[in-house]
A and B are shown apart, each in its own frame.
Chain A
Amino acid sequence: MENNRRDFIKTFSAMAAAGLFVSGMPWLKDLYAQDGLKTVKLGIIGPGSRGMLLLEHLKSVPELEISCFCDDYEPHFERAGQFLPGAKGYRDYREMLEKEQMDGVVIAVPLHKHKEITVAALDAGLHTFCEKAMAKTYEDCNEMVKARERNNKILYIGHQRIFNTRVLQAMKEIEEGTIGEVTQMRAYWHRNNDWRRPLPSPELERKINWRMYHEYSLGLMTELASHHLQVTNWVLKDKPDYVMGSGGINYWKDGREVFDNVNLVYHYPSGTHVIYDSMISNKKYGMEIQAMGPKGTIEIETGYQFSEQPPPAAGIIQLINNLEHKVFDAIPIGGASWVPEDPSEDKGTYLLDKLLKTDGTDVEMASFVSDVRNNRIDPWLTQQGFYASIATIMGFEAMMNHRIETWPQGLAI
Chain B
Amino acid sequence: MGTRLDLVFPGMGSELCDKLMSQIKSELHRLDSLLSIHRLDSELSHLNSTGHAGTIEISQELYEILDHVKHLSEKTEGYFDVTMKPVSDYLKSGDGQKQIVDKNTRDMVGMEQLIMEKEGVRFKREGVMLDLGGYGKGYGVKKIVMILQAAGIQCALISFGESLIYGLGSHPYGETWRVSVPNINQQQPIEFDLKDEALSTSGNSLNNQKKFANSGHIVNPVTLQMITIDGLVSVKAKDPVIAEVYSTALFSAGPDVSKEILKSVPGVEFRWVRPYSNGTI
Chain A contacts to B: CB under 8 angstroms? 310, 312-313, 315-316, 319-320, 323, 326-340, 342
Q: How far is the CA of A148 from the CA of B224 in the complex (A)?
A: 77
B279 at the interface (CB under 8 A from A): no
Tell me the residues in window 154-185 of chain B with beta carbons closer than 8 Å to chain A beta carbons: 157, 159, 161-163, 165, 171-174, 177-182
Listed by A's residue number, 15 A-B pairs whose Cβ atoms lie within 8 Å are A315-B159, A319-B8, A320-B8, A323-B10, A326-B172, A326-B173, A330-B178, A330-B191, A331-B179, A332-B182, A333-B179, A334-B201, A336-B207, A338-B162, A342-B208
B199 at the interface (CB under 8 A from A): yes
Q: Give the residues in chain B near A315, CB-CB below 8 Å.
A: 159, 162
Q: How far is the CA of A339 from the CA of B134 in the complex (A)?
A: 13
B3 at the interface (CB under 8 A from A): yes
Name B172's contact: one of A323, A333, A334, A342 (CB within 8 Å).
Answer: A323
Residue of B157, B165, B192, B199 most packed against chain A (CB within 10 A): B157
Name A337's contact: one of B162, B181, B192 (CB within 8 Å).
Answer: B162
Whether A338 pairs with B163 at a CB distance below 8 angstroms is yes
Chain B contacts to A: CB under 8 angstroms? 2-4, 6, 8, 10, 157, 159, 161-163, 165, 171-174, 177-182, 189, 191-192, 199, 201-205, 207-208, 232, 234, 273
Q: How far is the CA of A179 from the CA of B192 in the complex (A)?
A: 38
Number of A-B contacts (CB under 8 A): 94
Q: How far is the CA of A342 from the CA of B192 in the complex (A)?
A: 27
Q: Give the residues in chain A near B8, CB-CB below 8 Å.
A: 316, 319-320, 323
A-B CB proximity, top 3 nearest: A328-B174, A334-B181, A336-B205
Q: Give the residues in chain B near A339, CB-CB below 8 Å.
A: 2-3, 161
Whether A332 pairs with B189 at a CB distance below 8 angstroms is yes
Whether A330 pairs with B3 at a CB distance below 8 angstroms is no
Q: How far is the CB of B164 from chain A (nearest CB, A)?
A: 8
Known: A316-B159, A319-B157, A331-B178. A336 touches B191 (CB 8 A): no
Q: Give the residues in chain A near B202, CB-CB below 8 Å.
A: 336
Known: A330-B189, A331-B178. A336 touches B208 (CB 8 A): yes
Q: How far is the CB of A318 from chain B (nearest CB, A)?
A: 10
Whether A333 pairs with B159 at a CB distance below 8 angstroms is yes
Q: Give the residues in chain A near B204, CB-CB below 8 Å.
A: 336
Whether B10 pairs with A338 at a CB distance below 8 angstroms is no
Whether A334 pairs with B178 at a CB distance below 8 angstroms is no
Known: A331-B157, A335-B232. A340 touches B181 (CB 8 A): no
Name A336's contact: one of B172, B173, B201 (CB within 8 Å).
Answer: B201
Whether B163 pairs with A335 at a CB distance below 8 angstroms is yes
Whether A313 pairs with B173 at a CB distance below 8 angstroms is no
Q: How far is the CA of A320 from the CA of B207 in the complex (A)?
A: 24
> Which partner residue on chain B sits nearest A324 by CB separation?
B10
> Which partner residue on chain B sits nearest A332 by CB separation?
B180
Q: How far is the CA of A84 from the CA of B165 in the complex (A)?
A: 71
Q: How far is the CA of A340 from the CA of B181 in the complex (A)?
A: 21
Whether B179 pairs with A334 at a CB distance below 8 angstroms is yes
Residue of B173, B192, B199 most packed against chain A (CB within 10 A): B173
Q: How far is the CA of A331 from the CA of B205 in the complex (A)?
A: 18
Q: Give the residues in chain A near B10, CB-CB below 8 Å.
A: 323
Whether A328 pairs with B203 at a CB distance below 8 angstroms is no
Name B6's contact: one of A316, A323, A334, A335 (CB within 8 Å).
Answer: A316
Whether A334 pairs with B234 at a CB distance below 8 angstroms is yes
Whether A334 pairs with B4 at a CB distance below 8 angstroms is no
Whether A328 pairs with B173 at a CB distance below 8 angstroms is yes
Q: How far is the CA of A334 from the CA of B234 in the complex (A)?
A: 8
Q: How far is the CA of A342 from the CA of B162 in the complex (A)?
A: 14
Name B181's contact: one of A313, A320, A335 (CB within 8 Å).
Answer: A335
Known: A338-B4, A340-B4. A331 touches B177 (CB 8 A): yes
Known: A335-B232, A340-B2, A340-B4. A330 touches B179 (CB 8 A): yes
Name B165's contact: one of A312, A323, A334 (CB within 8 Å).
Answer: A334
Whether B181 pairs with A329 at a CB distance below 8 angstroms is no
Q: How far is the CA of A340 from the CA of B38 in the complex (A)?
A: 13
Residue of A313, A326, A336, A340 most packed against chain B (CB within 10 A): A336
Q: How far is the CA of A310 from the CA of B202 in the complex (A)?
A: 22
